[in-house]
Structure 1
Amino acid sequence: MPNKLSLSAYLLWAMSVLAAAASDDVRIAVYWGQDAREGSLRDACSTGLYAYVNIGFLSTFGDGRAPILDLADHCDPPSGGCAYLATDIASCQSAGIKVLLSIGGGTLGGYNLSSPSDAQGVAAYIWDNFLGGTSTGTGTGTGTGTGAPRPLGDAVLDGVDFDIEAPSRYYDDLARNLASLYRGDARGRTYMLTAAPQCPFPDASLAVALGTGLFDHVWVQFYNNPPCQYAHGDAGALRSAWQQWTTSLPSATVFLGLPASPEPDAADGGFVDADTLASQVLPAVEGAPNYDGIMLWSRSYDKDTGFSVKLQGILQNRNSDKKRRIYIIVGAAVAGVLLLFLLICACFLCHKKYRGTPPPEGSEAPPAPKIEPPQ
């Protein structure tokens, strides 16, 4: 009989191709927290548009400073006014969305690390106040004191995002200390490290930290940087920088970071409209083996422009055409294999019917009787 295992393997392959064709939506990371007009965190997650939400920013830390979480007009962390976000965060996480604390941001002068021990203290503060630890400090990152309320209530975030935009040392030490604390989580929970470097390669602030290989996702900012951003219909500089970034980060997945609005207050250039992104830019970048999606600045601008809604709609239409072609090709191939299988079965049965069953191996047919001629 024909090899049933080969046929089964082929059918499994066909089903895997169809399944891959059915899961083509782009994964989007977004920043939330710097504009009250963007709506609540729960609302952002309930759109179903985002796979990751970075809460930004822990904008003051290090070098003896008391850490400050700045969420613009959403709430006031020092007074405990942001504890209500714990329920929003839980809602996002229950929907499978990863919620991270982003540290740094564009407000320069409010953060830096002065030494490896300073990095260790900041890591301890972040762990105890936003992740799997217990708040036991006064907010200086020293881990000493009578205890302070966690700024986001009892929420346990999914990791830390490094949006460091001022050159400084010891962020590699911060990453190592956080990774060590992650591994020691008593509940066995997993946490992520992510980073948002600028697109000029290598990044002036995060090159050494990224060299540790500890980061899970890297969303490179292809905006505010004319030498490597999309401009005036030309994606050449972007493609060149993208290749440098993806080849330099074999252990991380890489996201294409873009502004969600062409408005000057969103970014200093780098905007790509949804049609152009889907038709020209994404085909040039998604071939990288560690490509994983796009990052948008920010939820506020995305809400204003509907950028991610437009992009997902365009991609769904594009992928519908792609799926239709794949269905036709795979369907024809499966039909061909099944027809070949039936022909082989028919030939086998005909052979068995008209030629009989062959004698067992090693046996001999009896000799024909000898007929003597008449005398």
Structure 2
Amino acid sequence: MLSKSVRSLVISLVIIAISKTTIYASKSGELAVFWGQNGNEGTLADTCATKKFPYVNLAFLKVFGNGSTPILNLAGHCDPASGGCVSLTNDIRGCQKQGVKLMLAIGGAAGTYTLSSKLDARHVSIYLWKAFLGGKSSSVFRPLGNASLDGIDFDIEQGSSQFYDDLVRYLKSYCTKKHRVYITGAPQCPYPDKQNGPALNTGLFDYVWVQFYNNPSCEYIPGNSSNLINSWNLWSKSLKAKKLFLGLPASTQAAQNGFIPADVLISDILPMIKHSPKYGGVMLWSKYWDDQSGYSSSIVSSV
């Protein structure tokens, strides 16, 4: 028969084990969203005011590298070239006061970009640091005004994968105790990603929101989630990043395929992927399409 002290110890260990299991089982994630590619999606301030998106990617810096003049495109929101986006300074600071992390998304499906060398990567990193992040320079125009974004999102969907790993390292080298530079990415779901693989392998990414859509081999197919779950597990096991997000279209119109009905996501998909220790939440493309569908409101309490 166990002594009183031993029984107490056993009971304490059981309580601790139950507590840890409960915490693990109830692990919750967060929502990320892309903003900037439709003038009818509301302002950046509107996006942050929803209180639903702790991470917002401003899309896109669509031209950069190889000696080109960088071009920021925010669709119908403002014209960066004429200085029209400097007004976003107040929105950026307001979002950050609410705890929202803002990243500049570079690349995209329709951009013109490439890195020609390690030196080119360094030049691009200096530009990003001085034009959008914490760097200051009287000779570099800041398209979004004096407010500093929190990091850079890699949405590289074309061209070579070369030298993006160098760009990541250069950007991370600007981190200080007072100013952290977040590095995030939105690779396609086939693993390893063709364009982003070497950069992801640096292990320097904070958050990665894999696009689990427009790729039938690794996306949700109506009535069949096995491809998606298998791909998620592979990413979760292999990815050198702190958090992994499930990237989804926010409506059936937002992508060619891969849309997951909210009830299916909540009942079938999320319970499976939340077992991953790297689970970070769900990323949505995009704020405009989410406005049309109300998708985020349907899932936010379950993510």
Structure 1: gaps spanning 5 or more residues: 137-146, 317-375
Aligned mate of 1:30, from 33, 53, 58: 33
1:158 deviates by 0.8
Aligned mate of 1:305, from 283, 288, 293: 293
> Identity, % of aligned pairs?
47
Aligned runs of 1:234-313 on 2, under 5 Å?
234-263=224-253, 266-313=254-301
The total of aligned residue pairs comes to 299
Summarize the Cα distance change of 1:255–1:78 in structure 2 as closer, same or farther, 3 Å threshold: same
Summarize the Cα distance change of 1:192–1:113 in structure 2 as closer, same or farther, 3 Å threshold: same
Greater Cα offset, 241-250 or 192-201: 241-250
Summarize the Cα distance change of 1:93–1:36 in structure 2 as closer, same or farther, 3 Å threshold: same
Q: Contact 1:31 / 1:54 at 8 angstroms: preserved in 2? A: yes
Q: Which residue of 2 aligns with 1:156?
A: 148
Higher Cα Rg, which structure:
1
Q: Contact 2:29 / 2:279 at 8 angstroms: preserved in 1? A: no
1:269 deviates by 0.3
Aligned mate of 2:67, from 56, 64, 68: 64
1:17 deviates by 6.3
TM-score, normalised to structure 2's length? 0.91
1:80 deviates by 1.1
Aligned mate of 2:52, from 49, 53, 66: 49
> 2:201 matched to 1:198?
no
Summarize the Cα distance change of 1:190–1:16 in structure 2 as closer, same or farther, 3 Å threshold: farther
Q: Distance in 1 between the 2:130 and 2:32 partners?
A: 25
Q: One-letter code of the match for 1:62?
A: G
DSSP 3-state at the match of 1:81 = coil
RMSD: 2.5
Q: Contact 2:202 / 2:240 at 8 angstroms: preserved in 1? A: no
TM-score, normalised to structure 1's length? 0.74
> 2:170 matched to 1:180?
no
Q: One-letter code of the match for 2:135?
A: G
Q: Which residue of 2 aligns with 1:111?
A: 113
Q: Which runs of 4+ in 1 moved over 2 A?
A: 5-26
1:25 deviates by 4.8
Summarize the Cα distance change of 1:9–1:107 in structure 2 as closer, same or farther, 3 Å threshold: same
1:191 deviates by 1.8
Q: One-letter code of the match for 1:44?
A: T
| Higher relative helix content | 1
Aligned mate of 2:95, from 92, 98, 102: 92
Q: Distance in 2 between the 1:88 and 1:18 partners?
A: 40
Q: Which residue of 2 aligns with 1:372?
A: none
Q: Distance in 1 between the 2:272 and 2:17 partners?
A: 27
Summarize the Cα distance change of 1:281–1:66 in structure 2 as closer, same or farther, 3 Å threshold: same
Structure 2: gaps spanning 5 or more residues: none
Cα distance per residue 1:246-266 (max 9 Å; x no partner): 111144211000000011xx1
Q: One-letter code of the match for 2:154?
A: F
Aligned runs of 1:124-143 on 2, under 5 Å?
124-136=126-138
Q: Which residue of 2 aligns with 1:209?
A: 199
Q: Which residue of 2 aligns with 1:364?
A: none
Aligned mate of 2:85, from 66, 82, 85: 82
| Higher relative strand content | 2
Q: Contact 1:59 / 1:103 at 8 angstroms: preserved in 2? A: yes
DSSP 3-state at the match of 1:36 = coil
Summarize the Cα distance change of 1:148–1:189 in structure 2 as closer, same or farther, 3 Å threshold: closer
Q: Contact 1:135 / 1:150 at 8 angstroms: preserved in 2? A: no
1:172 deviates by 0.6
